[in-house]
Structure 1
Amino acid sequence: MLFYVQMKWMHEGRITLDELWEVEAEEALHAQETLDSGFCVGIWKVAAQKRVIAIIDSPDAEELDRTALGRLPMREYLEFEEVWPLRDYLGFADDVIKKYKV
């Protein structure tokens, strides 16, 4: 299942900028691993903002939750602003054409 995930860095007053870069370096390695495995379809840093956007291909919401709260090196310093399950548009269009009837 695809999810749109929008995260914001929340580190002010908690760790120094140097410490943030150390944790973010660990996060970068983790991001590469999730891209290589296909769990993360794509990940982007929003220019000039402390915000990251990703498209995640998780088997279910439970696995996404485990990753977000348990596996991410930055988990203590991220606020998950938006998490939206995504539906394939052509599947939706097919339902519309069939008027949502089987």
Structure 2
Amino acid sequence: MLFYVQMKWNHEGRIHLDELWDIEVDEAEHVLKSIESGFCVGIWKVAAQKRLIAIVDSPDAEELDRTALGRLPMREYLEYEQVWPLRDYLGFVEDVKKGYRV
């Protein structure tokens, strides 16, 4: 299942930016492995902001939750602003054509 995930860094008053960069190195390694495995379809850093956007292909919401709250090196410093399940548009069109009747 695809998810749109929008998050921002929440580190002010907790750790210095230099310390955050050290954790971000570990996070980058984790993200690269996630991309290679297909779990992370794509991830983008928003220019001039402490914000990231990712498209994640998780088997379910539970696995996404385990990753976001338990596996990410940056988990203590990421604030999740939006997490939306995404539906394939072509499947939606087929349901529309059927009037949402099976």
* Mapped partners of 1:26, 1:50: distance in 2: 17
Match of 2:49 in 1: 49
RMSD in angstroms over aligned alpha carbons?
A: 0.4
* Mapped partners of 2:73, 2:5: distance in 1: 16
Runs of 4+ in 1 over 2 A off after TM superposition: none
- Report how many aligned residue pairs link the two structures: 102
* Mapped partners of 1:7, 1:15: distance in 2: 18
* Mapped partners of 1:59, 1:74: distance in 2: 22
* Mapped partners of 2:99, 2:85: distance in 1: 22
The alignment-based identity, stated in percent, is 78
Instruction: Tell whether 2:32 aligns with 1:36.
Output: no
Task: Identify unmatched segments of 5+ residues in structure 2.
Answer: none
Match of 2:74 in 1: 74
Match of 1:99 in 2: 99
TM-score (norm 1): 0.99
Instruction: Tell whether 2:49 aligns with 1:11.
Output: no
Q: Which deviations, in whole Å up to 9, do the C-alpha atoms of 1:20-59 show, x marking residues without a partner?
A: 0000111000010000000000000000000000000000
TM-score (norm 2): 0.99
Match of 1:86 in 2: 86
Shift of 1:17: 1.1
SS of 1:13's partner is coil
* Mapped partners of 1:17, 1:62: distance in 2: 31
Shift of 1:67: 0.1
Shift of 1:6: 0.3
* Mapped partners of 1:81, 1:101: distance in 2: 34
